[in-house]
Structure formats: structure tokens, C-alpha cells
Structure 1
Amino acid sequence: MTVDISNLGESQPIIYDKVITNVGRAYDSRHGTFRAPVGGTYKFTFSVLQVCKA
């Protein structure tokens, strides 16, 4: 991420600078939302790293 995203509010979307995989284009990278194209169960995974500036 090239922007600071500290102090996020509840249910606030995180908009990523770069999307690597978006099969079916169900993820809207402009708004940070996912709209399921069909009913079912979806699994999302992500990793977060915080770098402390000294």
C-alpha cells in the first residue's frame, strides 16, 4: 500500500493499490467492494504487515 490506512472505521473498505487476482471481476478495485456473482460461500484471505518508523 502506498497510502496510510491507520484509524480505519467500522466496515470501512480497504482499497488496494494493486490487485493481483480478480477472477470473474467480482471485486471492484475502485470502491473496494466484492459483489458475489452467484449465491454460495466465499472465502477471503489477506495478509497485513505494519512497519514501525523509528
Structure 2
Amino acid sequence: MNLGTPSARGNTAKIYLYKNKIVKVFNDVFSDRESFYEAHKQRYALSFGLNVPEYWMSPK
């Protein structure tokens, strides 16, 4: 998948705008566990009714 040029860069990932969605791609130095941990935190926040983005996990 060609995401184009990142809209933002951080310490852990690059952020892209792709097909009207925000895509966060973790840097290669991080294991898959990092993305699963972040997804777990999002799910936890959603369970309390907090206004956080939805997420989906894409296979590599």
C-alpha cells in the first residue's frame, strides 16, 4: 500500500491521511506488541465513553 508522504512524524510512528482516514504506521524499531498495546488503550478508553478515534489493525 502506498500511503504517500507522511502528514506528521513522531518518536514512535509516521501519520498519513489515506482515503479520508488517519493511518499510524509504527517505526520498524518497535515490535508488533506496541501497536497491540496502543489498540488495547484505545479500547479501554472507549469502554469509558471517552471520545477517541476508532481503530483497525491491518496485517503487515
Higher helix share: 2
Higher strand share: 2
The TM-score, its normalising length taken from structure 2, stands at 0.23
Higher RCO (CA < 8 A, seq sep 6+): 1
Q: Rg bigger for which structure? A: 1
